[in-house]
Amino acid sequence: MNKTVIITGASSGIGKACAKRFAKESWQLVLTARRTEKLAAIKAQLESEYGIKVFTLTQDVRNENSGNDLVAFLKQHNIQPDLLINNAGLAVGTNPLQEGIVDDWERMIDTNVKGLLYISRAIAPMMIAQQRGHIINIGSIAGKEVYGGGNVYCATKHAVDALTKAMRIDLLPHGIRVSQVAPGAAETEFSIVRFKGDEQRAKNVYKGIEPLAGGDIADAIWYVANTPPHVNINDLVITCTNQANATTFYRNEN
């Protein structure tokens, strides 16, 4: 039987690229995000291109019931998840802390930390009951280092880093694998969201470099998900060749 992956935040960027990567390998997909029409378009395209089944669920991971709603959806469709990719997330704003906007902070904390917790709290018991499963959390190089203007976003990704380690310990006796994939700069909708729709400013982030594309990260996630059952990649930091760490880039300005 085909395996099933749940991907949160699958309507764009890394999540969408993962949907395509796993579809190509004939996995069944459960895709979630807030934008229904984007999910519907991805479902139509992947079902017709790869002949697989794609389930979509419109949801906001910030909702405390998001995890329970997802489990109810899976049970309704008789789906047993083999893999959960906790990908939904965002950065909003780059203000220094002393000028921070509380609503920006709450959006990041509620999505990147609490959303990941709500989904994991609900899906992990299903995996324990079925005695198999793997959770891959999408962290960031911002969860390894901090940079100017990154304050709360970096804190949320440091929390993902810590929670990944904690979940691995908690789920160890149940044979559930827990991994983190931590990308550097990837050109998706990420910077447009961070800069609140300022597309020019978003473009400048990638000026003079060849950034990661969603597909590069999806390939890495595919590898992490497909090691032999006795092997677990705990943590994978991935940057483009033009990026050495969170703040050091080699830019070709010509």
Task: Assess 186 for contact with ligand NDP (CB under 6 A).
Answer: yes
Specify whether 153 is catalytic. yes
Identity of the residue, 141 or 155, whose beta carbon is nearer to ligand 8X3 in the bound complex: 141
Task: Assess 28 for contact with ligand NDP (CB under 6 A).
Answer: no
Q: What is the CA radius of gyration of the chain?
A: 18
- The binding site for ligand 8X3 (CB under 6 A) comprises 140-142, 150, 184-185, 246
Best CA proximity match to 93, nearest among 79, 107, 76: 107
Identity of the residue, 140 or 151, whose beta carbon is nearer to ligand 8X3 in the bound complex: 140
Q: How far is the CB of 157 from ligand NDP (least distance, A)?
A: 7
| CA atoms within 13 A of residue 76's CA, in its CB half-sphere | 10
**81: buried, middle or exposed (CB in 10 Å: 19+, 13-18, 0-12)?**
buried
Task: Assess 90 for contact with ligand NDP (CB under 6 A).
Answer: yes
Angstrom distance (rounded) from CA 214 to CA 15: 8
Identity of the residue, 93 or 150, whose beta carbon is nearer to ligand 8X3 in the bound complex: 150
- The rounded Cα 195 to chain-centroid distance in angstroms is 19
Q: Residue 90 binds which one of ligand NDP, ligand 8X3, none, with CB within 5 to 8 A depending on kind?
A: ligand NDP
To 10 degrees, what angle do helices 13-24 and 214-225 make? 50
Catalytic residues: 153
Interface residues with ligand NDP (CB under 6 A) are 8-15, 33-35, 38, 60-62, 87-90, 111, 115, 138, 140, 183, 185-186, 188-190, 193, 214
